[in-house]
Amino acid sequence: MSGAVAQRRTAHPNGRRLHPWSVRVMHWTNAVAMLVMITSGWGIYDDAVIIRGLHFSKGLRLGDWAAWSLNWHFAGMWLLAINGLCYLIYGVLTGRLRERLLPIRLHDVIQTVRDTLRLKIEHNDLTTYNAVQKILYIVVILAGVSQVVTGLAIWKPIQFSRLVSLLGGFQWARFIHFAGMSVIVGFLVVHVLLALLVPQTLWAMLTGGPRVGPSGHGAPEGMR
């Protein structure tokens, strides 16, 4: 959390958990589903590469050969799509998405980038995401939605022919699907690195974290 932007907060003694059990279950289910989709996708990709010379080594692929990877991909897609839909419906109905990911202020973005460049990445207030975190989460959620939509177009190009033309044709749909995967993998590298650098966030995503008030945030220090 950006030192200048963050207001120090303490836990709300009687509030709900920062990450309720439902969010934790959906988050970790999503992590498993994403890993299955990414590694099986690499197995399928290797059968008909998009970028000449770019291959994924056997150790990184789920499935011994393309048809086996495809089976994993089809199994994982249900988990990813159903779990993702539950997260989005839950996030909209409970107001969590708005509460955690909005608002994003330009000033906060600049301050967070400055702090990060100075390697000031402490996360004093677990109950509030910094502006860059919010942007990254929104981007990865949109990338996930895009993967499902482009995946449908590649999976059933005849039935979803309108969608395929909207995406610019089959090859474009495939390319956008590959680009979405790259965005998610890029996010994952940074996300996991930050979680390991600030392990109390990882602990909170496992156990629920501090208790928060009705606004979804901790109580400002000195107010209780």
Residues 111 and 150: their CA atoms lie apart, in Å, by 35
**Does residue number 146 form part of the binding site for ligand HEM (CB under 6 A)?**
no
Does 17 sit near ligand HEM (CB under 6 A)? no
Between the two ends of the chain, the Cα-to-Cα distance in Å is: 22
Q: Helix, strand, or coil here: 88?
A: helix
> Which residue of 39, 72, 201, 218 would you call a contact of ligand HEM, by CB under 6 A?
201
Least Cα distance to 35 among 5, 1, 79, 67 occurs for 79
Stretch that binds ligand HEM, among 29-37, 39-47, 104-112, 158-166 (CB under 6 A): 29-37
Determine the Cα–Cα distance for residues 224 and 210; give it in Å rounded to an integer: 16
To ligand HEM, the closest distance from the beta carbon of 5 in angstroms equals 14
Beta strands 16-17; 211-212: pairing state:
antiparallel
**Shortest distance in whole angstroms from residue 151 CB to ligand HEM:** 15
Q: Is 176 in the site for ligand HEM (CB under 6 A)?
A: no
Distance in angstroms (rounded) separating the CA atoms of residues 46 and 69: 10
- How many C-beta atoms lie closer than 10 Å to residue 171's C-beta? 12
Can you tell me the distance from the alpha carbon of 60 to that of 172, in angstroms, rounded to the nearest whole number? 25
Answer yes or no whether residue 192 interacts with ligand HEM by CB under 6 A: yes
Measured from the CB of residue 35, what is the shortest distance to ligand HEM in angstroms?
7
Nearer residue to ligand HEM within complex by CB, 140 or 167: 140
Query: What is the H or E stretch that residue 169 is in?
Result: none
Q: Who's near 19: CB < 8 A, 6+ residues apart?
A: 27, 204, 205, 208, 209
Part of the chain binding ligand HEM (CB under 6 A), chosen from 57-65, 150-158, 161-169, 183-191: 183-191
Which residue from 132, 153, 167, 184 is in contact with ligand HEM, where contact means CB under 6 A? 184
Tell me, by CB under 6 A, how many residues bind ligand HEM. Answer: 21
Q: Could you tell me the smallest distance in angstroms from the CB atom of residue 96 to ligand HEM? A: 6
Q: Is 202 in the site for ligand HEM (CB under 6 A)?
A: yes
For helices 21-45 and 131-155, the axis angle rounded to 10 degrees is: 50
Binding part of the chain for ligand HEM, among 3-11, 30-38, 54-62, 72-80 by CB under 6 A, reads 30-38
Query: What amino acid is encoded at 70 in this protein?
Result: L
Please report, as ranges, the residues that interact with ligand HEM according to CB under 6 A. Answer: 23, 27, 30-31, 34, 96, 100, 123, 126, 137, 140-141, 184, 188, 191-192, 195, 201-202, 204-205
